[in-house]
Amino acid sequence: MSQVLVKAAGVGKAYPKAYLSGDRLRALARLLVGRRDADAQYVVKDIDLCVRRGESIAVIGQNGAGKSTLLKLITGVLTPTSGQVEVSGSVGALLELGAGFHPEYSGRDNVEMAAALHGLSHDELAARMQQIIEFADIGAYIDEPVKHYSSGMVVRLGFAIIASLKPDLLITDEVLAVGDESFQKKCIRWMEEYLKEGGTLLLVTHSMYHAQKLCRHALWLDHGALMQFGDVFEVSQAYLAWHERKQAASEQRAPDRSGIEFEITDLVVNDCPGNQAVVIDFGGKLVMSSRIRSREGRLPIAMFGIVRADGTPVYGVSTEMDEVGVQRLSDHDFRVEIEFAGLSLLPGSYQVRIHTMDTEGLRLFDTLERGLTVRGESREFGLVRLPHRWNQSSGDHGG
C-alpha cells in the first residue's frame, strides 16, 4: 500500500465572534486564561482525510466553504482548533497570491530565499536557476522588485519554483485562475507529467473542467463540513446539481391544485416511486410512468419532459404529438408510460416532468417532477451526446 502523506483526523478551525470591539476583548480574555470561546464559529469542522502518495484530489465548494482554510491547516499555516494533521514528505504549496515573497526583493532574490527554505544548496540552485527563469517566462522582470509584478507574474514565479522542486505533495489554491491561457496550459501539462511520475496533488478549484482533467478524486466542502468525497466525476456532478437546484429553487412555484380536472397522482421513474431523485448510468434506460385521475372521466393528454436543474428545456413530447392514447384503468383513472432506451443525456443533474392537459390540448392542469442524475465520465459540453466521428486524412496526426 502506498505511503500516507497527509492524515487529518477530526480537524476543525474556529474563530471567535468579533463583530464589535467588546467581542474582541472578550475573546482575548478567554485566550489569556486558556478557555475556549463557546460562541466561536467553525469555518472547518470535523474533517477526516487521508492522502496517499500518487493520489490527486480536487477540493471544491462555493466561496466561504472552508477550502483555503483546510489547505492552510494541512500546510501548517494555521493551527487546528480541534483534531490533528500529520504530514510526511516534502510539500510545495501555492496558497495566497505572493505569500512567501518579499515585495522589496527581486524575483531572483526571492527564488534564492525560497530555495534556501527548501534546503537546496548553492550548487543545486545554480543548476536549476535557468530552468526556473525559463518556466516563469517573465523576462527582465526577474531582476525587478516583486512589488512591481502583476498577479499573473507572481503566480508564474511561484509555480516555476515549485516545478523545479518537484515536491512529494503539491498543494495549490486557484493557481489556474490567474494568468494567461498559455501559462495555464503550461501548468496543466507540467501537473499531468508530475502526476504521471507519481506526484501527489491537492487542488482547490472552482473549475470542474480542471478538477476532472487533473484529479481522480474530489472533496466537496460546504460551510466547513464535508459533504461528499469520492470519484471526481460523481462528486463534481453532485456539486453542480446541488448548485443548479439551489439556483432554481427560488424560481419554482407549486401549481394550484384546487378543483383540478386532471390530477397526476404519481410519477414512477425506473420502477422507483416516491419523490427521491433517481440515478442512472450514462447511456442507460429511462422509463417514466404515471397515473392520472380525471374528474369528469374525460381522456387526458400527457406530456413528458426533461429539463436541466436550472430549468433549461432538453426534450418534451406528448401523447397527442405521437398520436398515442393513455391506458384507461377505470372510469376516472388512467395510466401512461414512456421509455427512452440508450439515453444520450450527458452526465449531470436533470428534472423529469409530466404535465396533464385537457382532451383538446389547450389547457395545462397539473405537473409532477422528479430529480434525475445521470452518472458517468464525460468532459463534453452541452446536454446530449451526438453521434460523431473525426475525419482525418492519412498521415495527418498533428497534435
Q: Which residues contact 330 (CB under 8 A, 6 or more apart)?
A: none
Which whole number is the average pLDDT over 170-192? Answer: 80
Residue 56, classified by CB atoms within 10 Å of its CB into exposed (0-12), middle (13-18) or buried (19+), is buried
User: What's the pLDDT at 49?
Assistant: 93
256 inside domain: no
Tell whether the model's pLDDT for residue 22 goes beyond 60. Answer: no
Last-in-domain residue among 246, 271, 288: 246
215 inside domain: yes
Tell whether the model's pLDDT for residue 14 goes beyond 60. Answer: yes
**One domain, residues 323 and 228:** no
195 inside domain: yes
96 inside domain: yes
**One domain, residues 14 and 110:** yes
pLDDT-based confidence at 238, cuts 50/70/90? Answer: confident
**One domain, residues 178 and 80:** yes
User: What's the pLDDT at 116?
Assistant: 85
Query: Model confidence over 36-92: pLDDT tens digits?
Result: 555 678 899 999 999 999 999 999 998 889 998 999 999 888 999 999 999 998 888
- pLDDT above 70 coverage of the chain, percent: 85
User: What's the pLDDT at 221?
Assistant: 94
Query: Model confidence over 135-174: pLDDT tens digits?
Result: 888 888 999 998 888 888 888 888 888 888 888 999 988 7
252 inside domain: no
394 inside domain: no
Any idea what the CATH number is for the domain that residue 46 is in?
3.40.50.300
DSSP code per residue over 227-279: EEEEEHHHHHHHHHHHHHHHHHHTT------TT-SEEEEEEEETTB-SSS-EE
Tell whether the model's pLDDT for residue 195 goes beyond 50. Answer: yes
Last-in-domain residue among 194, 220, 246: 246
Tell whether the model's pLDDT for residue 250 goes beyond 60. Answer: no
257 inside domain: no
Q: What is the pTM of this model?
A: 0.63
**One domain, residues 199 and 341:** no
pLDDT-based confidence at 188, cuts 50/70/90? Answer: confident
Any idea what the CATH number is for the domain that residue 321 is in?
2.60.40.10
User: What's the pLDDT at 18?
Assistant: 55
End-to-end CA distance of the chain: 37
Tell whether the model's pLDDT for residue 121 goes beyond 50. Answer: yes
Q: Which residues contact 20 (CB under 8 A, 6 or more apart)?
A: none
- Least confident range from 15-19, 26-30, 254-258: namely 254-258
**One domain, residues 98 and 142:** yes
pLDDT-based confidence at 98, cuts 50/70/90? Answer: low
Which whole number is the average pLDDT over 231-243? Answer: 83
pLDDT-based confidence at 194, cuts 50/70/90? Answer: very high
SS3 for 186-227 is: HHHHHHHHHHHCCCEEEEECCCHHHHHHHCCEEEEEECCEEE
Which whole number is the average pLDDT over 354-366? Answer: 79
**One domain, residues 240 and 285:** no
**One domain, residues 13 and 74:** yes
Tell whether the model's pLDDT for residue 207 goes beyond 60. Answer: yes
CB atoms within 10 A of CB 52: 13
**One domain, residues 209 and 107:** yes
**One domain, residues 160 and 226:** yes
Tell whether the model's pLDDT for residue 399 goes beyond 80. Answer: no
Query: Model confidence over 289-348: pLDDT tens digits?
Result: 999 999 888 889 999 999 987 778 899 998 988 888 899 999 999 999 999 998 999 988
**One domain, residues 205 and 279:** no
212 inside domain: yes
Tell whether the model's pLDDT for residue 180 goes beyond 80. Answer: no
Query: Model confidence over 258-294: pLDDT tens digits?
Result: 557 889 999 999 998 877 778 899 999 999 999 999 9
Report the C-alpha gap between 21 and 7 in whole angstroms: 37
Last-in-domain residue among 220, 246, 272: 246
pLDDT-based confidence at 99, cuts 50/70/90? Answer: low
pLDDT-based confidence at 253, cuts 50/70/90? Answer: very low
**One domain, residues 208 and 337:** no
Please state the domain count of the chain: 2
**One domain, residues 205 and 133:** yes
- Least confident range from 66-80, 97-111, 258-272, 384-398: namely 384-398
Domain that holds residue 135: 4-246
User: What's the pLDDT at 196?
Assistant: 92
